[in-house]
Structure 1
Amino acid sequence: MQLHRERKEEGVMAMATMREMPRSPEAKLGMRVEDLWDVQEAQLSPNDKLNACFENIPVSAFPLPAKNQEIEIKSDATLAEAVKILARHNILSAPVVDVDAPEDATWIDRYIGIVEFAGIVVWILHQSEPPSPRSPSTPTSASAIAAAANGNTFARELEALGLGSAATTSGNFFEDLTSSELYKNTKVQDISGTFRWAPFLALERSNSFLTMLLLLSKYKMKSVPVVDLGSGTIDNIITQPAVIHMLAECAGLQWFESWGTKELSDVGLPLVTPKQIIKVYEDEPVLQAFKEMRKKRVGGVPVIKRGGTTAVGNISLRDVQFLLTAPEIYHDYRTITVKDFLTSVRSYLEKNKNAFPMSSEFITCKRDCTVKELIQLLDKEQIHRVYVVDDDGNLEGLITLRDIISRLVHEPHGYFGDFFDGVLPLPANSRV
């Protein structure tokens, strides 16, 4: 009882302070939601009120990142060049510009998609898998892309690297790969339409916050570009972490407190149950763990000690960037295990303070945690997932950024109408 009283008093004080001077652009945006919240019809449920508020705010109001970097990658850039660009600017993904598009092209013709670290590596991992036994005479998608991009030499490079073997898990795999012609010559446009690639779906500045939140949650987009129709260029890119940061900055406002002070179970979290959580053992080869994530279509997994039941770490698809940007972390290993990989990454980050701001730490919370506390934890640690555990450390569920956003809003019946009709069709080689 005392804890809830203290939370309420803190909320009242924070709200008064924010009214006097918003502490950030995100908090100012939260006050805009607050003003709309106060004038909503009384008969509306809290969820419907939030929907109505977000529907009345355009995405153009979403603050730009503190360091607004309008980084774009050209379609004829190689995978090696794309990785260097992403690493140099400390970003996970970037829009791809079609170099063959005319100068007066509209945004839908100018951009062909978004490339990200995870997408590049997932494509690479696919090359290490054998072709389907049902079609032994049919070229793999890798061979088809190879032939189209660089002819038979490229295809032979795949074979020379041993990429047809699913058992390829040694550290030398990525070391050989990053120095190979395959990695140096494959262009970003050659892997468009595969795995995590999707048609370039963007919002116009006048589209609503509600549309953006639904795309990031129910429709599973990691980021939503906002385009300026006048110039045909990207005005902003709104990500799931950016939305979570915005929510964290709204602590103390009435609309946020009425939702955020609820315990996880009160809003239907966690969505992922213990039986649904994909796990890996710490003594498994890390490359095999990444393949398992790709196979199961999950972005991260807890690491379990062999013979135990509690988690000792976390590994995500985002971490595979280190296999491309910092091969020295596994240079001395013949076969790097999940445990060794996490240890090496941790050591690498400690020595390189300007490395990618990324955490492989295992972050947990309890079931009685509030939504507000969880949002603040995710924002502070800059992570994408939190594991729910009991008092003994046993897994009770998993909560991602997408899960939280999905609990904030809901899709009204027929809301999108023909919204998706203008989206470019998936490329013929799409595996999304």
Structure 2
Amino acid sequence: MVTMEESPRSPEAKVGLRVEDLWDVQEPQLSPDEKLNACFESIPVSAFPLPPSNQEIEIKSDTTLAEAVKMLAQHNILSAPVVDVDAPEDASWIDRYIGIVEFAGIVVWILHQSEPTSPRSPSSGSAIAAAVDGITSAFEHEALGLESAMTTSGNFFEDLTSSQLYKNTKVRDISGSFRWAPFLALERSNSFLTMLLLLSKYKMKSVPVVDLGAGRIQNIITQSSVIHMLAECAGLQWFESWGTKKLSQVGLPIVAPNHIIKVYEDEPVLQAFKLMRKKRIGGLPVMERGGSRAIGNISLQDVQFLLTAPEIYHDYRSITAKDFLTAVRSYLEKHEGTFTMSSELITCNKDCTIKELIQLLDHEKIHRVYVVDNDGNLEGLITLRDIISRLVHEPRGYFGDFFDGVLPMPPNSRV
């Protein structure tokens, strides 16, 4: 058995050591999967390490969109909880917070409200509107084509971020947009198993952990932080027995090539962001036209460039997905270390092990890996959620009436 004294480890790995200790005392008749479930059920979420102090931010509901974007960018995070400034000091957490706002929610709301026509062409507004609204008719599909997209310049985004709409609108004014899913939080005493199931089977991007006594969010556990925790557990018995299995042994990849949501290189990049929002996914591949190879990846994380670095489009007469990748790569080369490079296509093959995959995801700080064959053709997709879903399973009747008290979507939610 590994002890803390014998093996000094990171705060994340200390959770793994607790699993190791629990693993050794589980009933012998339990299968490895049942053992893991039992171990994680015995550990409270309060044991999960707190985020770095520079990421512990809350956004007040009367903050403007411009200020909110600046705060998110400065702290290099994609989302933050929103505090209702009108809530009384002794309010419970459910009355204190109105949700979690994201870069993506801000972008989608702005594009819903503001669809200006580029001075270069009267048709550019159609491309933007189509990308935002997800129009499907034959005529409107034509508006999403290359000809319309090429007429939209970076001036659109520069005008957008300098508009009074963007500068004066408060975060609380767009709550119907960023609250596109129920707002749910865990108590400190809830189990790790509950948290892992919410991040995997129940498709939550992050799980707030609240201190009921203080009525405040104490921690926000993300899929990425769980993957980092798992990567820090390499070498522990329980992790090695699970992590050395090949992808096919645990049923990965779950998403087959024909089910991967994608965009083609000559489609507008706004279509990619709209698809991610509509399908509630974190990213998608950019495919070569007429082939089965991907040339890059567009992530929700890249939405930040529309608002924080609109100048990357200044010299471009088109904003196709391919040109977006080129522009972002060029921008990141000039600002090395400032932003994470999420547009690169990270791949693995089917012979990869779970351990190798987790270490790859953690090292690259990405949320998805594309499975390819020896010729680079797309064979599947694996996300952080897929990996977590293979770590634990939901016992029958596990949640019971757990969701009864969840704060539902507001009636004015549009996305």
TM-score, normalisation: structure 2: 0.88
1:184 to partner: Cα distance: 1.5
Counterpart pick for 1:102 among 88, 93, 110: 88
Match of 2:372 in 1: 389
Q: Is 1:231–2:214 an aligned residue pair?
A: yes
Match of 2:102 in 1: 116
Of stretches 23-32 and 259-268 in structure 1, the one that deviates more from structure 2 is 23-32
CA separation in 2, counterparts of 1:327 and 1:385?
26
Match of 2:139 in 1: none
**Contact map agreement 1:27 1:246 (CA 8 A) in 2:** yes
Q: Which runs of 5+ in 2 are unaligned?
A: 117-123, 131-142
Q: Is 1:366–2:352 an aligned residue pair?
A: no
- Given residue 77 of structure 2, which amino acid in structure 1 is its aligned partner? I
CA separation in 2, counterparts of 1:78 and 1:26?
35
Q: Is 1:75–2:61 an aligned residue pair?
A: yes
**Contact map agreement 2:247 2:351 (CA 8 A) in 1:** yes
Query: Structure 1 residues 424 and 297, CA, compared in 2 at 3 Å: closer, same or farther?
Result: closer
Counterpart pick for 2:228 among 240, 245, 249: 245
CA separation in 2, counterparts of 1:427 and 1:292?
22
SS in 1 for 2:390: helix
CA separation in 2, counterparts of 1:16 and 1:109?
43
Q: Which runs of 5+ in 1 are unaligned?
A: 1-14, 131-160
Between Structure 1 and Structure 2, how many residues are aligned?
Answer: 388
1:248 to partner: Cα distance: 0.3
Match of 2:42 in 1: 56
SS in 1 for 2:221: strand
Match of 2:15 in 1: 29
CA separation in 2, counterparts of 1:426 and 1:290?
22
**Contact map agreement 2:115 2:125 (CA 8 A) in 1:** no
Query: Structure 1 residues 119 and 237, CA, compared in 2 at 3 Å: closer, same or farther?
Result: same
Percent identity over the alignment is: 84
Deviations 1:69-89 (Å, cap 9, x if unpaired)? 320001111211111110011
Counterpart pick for 1:310 among 272, 284, 293: 293
CA separation in 2, counterparts of 1:289 and 1:227?
34
CA separation in 1, counterparts of 2:324 and 2:162?
20
Match of 1:416 in 2: 399
CA separation in 2, counterparts of 1:52 and 1:278?
35
1:365 to partner: Cα distance: 0.4
CA separation in 2, counterparts of 1:303 and 1:382?
19
Query: Structure 1 residues 19 and 49, CA, compared in 2 at 3 Å: closer, same or farther?
Result: farther
Q: How does 1:7-406 map to 2 (within 5 A)?
A: 20-67=6-53, 69-127=55-113, 165-166=129-130, 167=143, 169=149, 170=152, 171-194=154-177, 197-406=180-389
1:376 to partner: Cα distance: 0.3
Match of 1:430 in 2: 413
- Given residue 20 of structure 1, which amino acid in structure 2 is its aligned partner? E
Match of 1:146 in 2: none
Query: Structure 1 residues 179 and 129, CA, compared in 2 at 3 Å: closer, same or farther?
Result: closer
- Given residue 272 of structure 2, which amino acid in structure 1 is its aligned partner? A
Query: Structure 1 residues 276 and 18, CA, compared in 2 at 3 Å: closer, same or farther?
Result: farther
Deviations 1:126-152 (Å, cap 9, x if unpaired)? 44689xxxxxxxxxxxxxxxxxxxxxx
- Given residue 392 of structure 2, which amino acid in structure 1 is its aligned partner? V
Query: Structure 1 residues 421 and 348, CA, compared in 2 at 3 Å: closer, same or farther?
Result: same
Query: Structure 1 residues 60 and 18, CA, compared in 2 at 3 Å: closer, same or farther?
Result: closer
**Contact map agreement 1:87 1:356 (CA 8 A) in 2:** no
CA separation in 2, counterparts of 1:122 and 1:323?
11
Deviations 1:373-429 (Å, cap 9, x if unpaired)? 000000000000000011111111000001111111111111111111111232111
CA separation in 1, counterparts of 2:254 and 2:32?
21
TM-score, normalisation: structure 1: 0.85
Query: Structure 1 residues 220 and 128, CA, compared in 2 at 3 Å: closer, same or farther?
Result: farther
Deviations 1:143-199 (Å, cap 9, x if unpaired)? xxxxxxxxxxxxxxxxxx958842585233322211112211222112213266334
SS in 2 for 1:198: coil
SS in 1 for 2:55: coil
CA RMSD of aligned residues (A): 2.2
- Given residue 349 of structure 1, which amino acid in structure 2 is its aligned partner? L
SS in 2 for 1:214: helix
SS in 2 for 1:54: helix
CA separation in 2, counterparts of 1:311 and 1:52?
40
**Contact map agreement 2:183 2:409 (CA 8 A) in 1:** no
Match of 1:144 in 2: none
1:67 to partner: Cα distance: 4.2
CA separation in 1, counterparts of 2:29 and 2:81?
43
**Contact map agreement 1:114 1:197 (CA 8 A) in 2:** no
CA separation in 2, counterparts of 1:292 and 1:68?
31
